[in-house]
Amino acid sequence: MTSAIILAGGLGTRLRSEVPDLPKPMAPVNERPFLSWLMDYWIRQGVRHFILSIGYKSHTIQDYYGSRYRQAELDYSVEEIPRGTGGGLLLALRQLQNEEAFLVLNGDTFFAVKLDALREFHERTQADVTMALLDMADNDRYGGVSMKPDGSIVSLDASRADPENRRVNGGAYLMKRDLFEGYTVGDSQQKCSLEGDLFPALLNSGKHMAGYLSSGMFIDIGIPEDYMRAAELLANKREKD
């Protein structure tokens, strides 16, 4: 069984004008929380255990979902102080089960990546972490990558230096269970970013990071313009599935 950690602890300040009283993953899309759309997709891919890494207004998410959502078991990793995406992930690792690889998903993005194909690529390349990528022409908001022909990632944020590089991080990852052995979560209030701190550290330490290119639908609700597009995109996605 594959578990998925959903990073859902951010403040969502850029979306506050549209969703003033809810944590960002609970923003309503077609009268349902965005988080429900996200979990529905991955349940259809076979995920049966979610660890929700939450912080801002965490009780709103816990009260709404409880310990189960449809066919999936839910656990919660609650940040008492804001830790950033990296700190939230490290804290949530304590609740992982015994599977060899696990998913990590951004709680404000929907990326329709096929889990079987992602897993096959991850195992074939013997990667420590596989990052799902998409081609995006307007990519100023997203971290780009530079890769070898075999998919091995050699640098991050490459799109900033090369405008012709359209491949960007889609916010869905498959990681080895022991990837973060030796990393600890202390009581410091210093935040840690997954994309800005942990991933560069892993790459610099020689961990094998690979990029899997997917053409699946992608939507990021982090800003009001894209949030307003989500209703139509997700409704169309449900009709096609």
pLDDT band at 161 (very low <50, low <70, confident <90, very high): very low
pLDDT band at 9 (very low <50, low <70, confident <90, very high): confident
Whether pLDDT at 14 is above 60: no
pLDDT tens-digit map of 180-190: 887 766 544 56
pLDDT band at 49 (very low <50, low <70, confident <90, very high): very high
Strands (E), the chain: 3-8, 28-29, 32-33, 49-54, 68-69, 72-78, 101-106, 109-111, 129-135, 145-147, 153-156, 167-176, 209-213, 218-220
Mean pLDDT over residues 128-154, rounded?
83
pLDDT at 239: 47
Q: Could you give the CA distance from residue 121 to residue 127 in angstroms, rounded to a whole number? A: 9
pLDDT at 158: 53
Whether the CB-CB separation of 108 and 220 falls below 8 Å is answered with yes
Nearest to 26 by CA among 18, 40, 36, 16: 36
Q: Could you give the CA distance from residue 81 to residue 191 in angstroms, rounded to a whole number? A: 9
pLDDT band at 138 (very low <50, low <70, confident <90, very high): low
| Token duo for residue 110 | 């929907």
Phi then psi for residue 44, to 5 deg, are: -65, -25
pTM: 0.90
The residue ranking higher by pLDDT, 128 or 79, is 128
Q: Could you give the CA distance from residue 200 to residue 213 in angstroms, rounded to a whole number? A: 20
Query: Where do the H-state alpha helices sit in 73-223?
Result: 84-92, 115-125, 158-161, 199-204
**Least-confidence region, from 25-34, 148-157, 200-209, 231-240:** 231-240
CA-based torsion, 110, 112, 115, 121: positive or negative: negative
Most confident of the following: 8-22, 39-53, 169-183, 224-238? 39-53
Q: Domain range for residue 18?
A: 3-240
Neighbours of 58 (CB within 10 A): 19
| Token duo for residue 191 | 């935040």
Q: Which residues of 178-195 are buried (b: 16+ CB within 10 A; e: fewer)?
A: ebbeeeebeeeeebbebb
Q: Could you give the CA distance from residue 100 to residue 38 in angstroms, rounded to a whole number? A: 23
pLDDT at 125: 95
pLDDT at 127: 96
Mean pLDDT over residues 130-153, rounded?
82
Provide the CATH number for the domain around residue 191. 3.90.550.10
Nearest to 102 by CA among 129, 77, 79: 129
pLDDT at 177: 85
- Mean pLDDT across the chain: 84
Whether the CB-CB separation of 111 and 135 falls below 8 Å is answered with no
- What percent of the chain lies above the pLDDT cut of 90? 45
Mean pLDDT over residues 115-143, rounded?
87
Domain count, the chain: 1
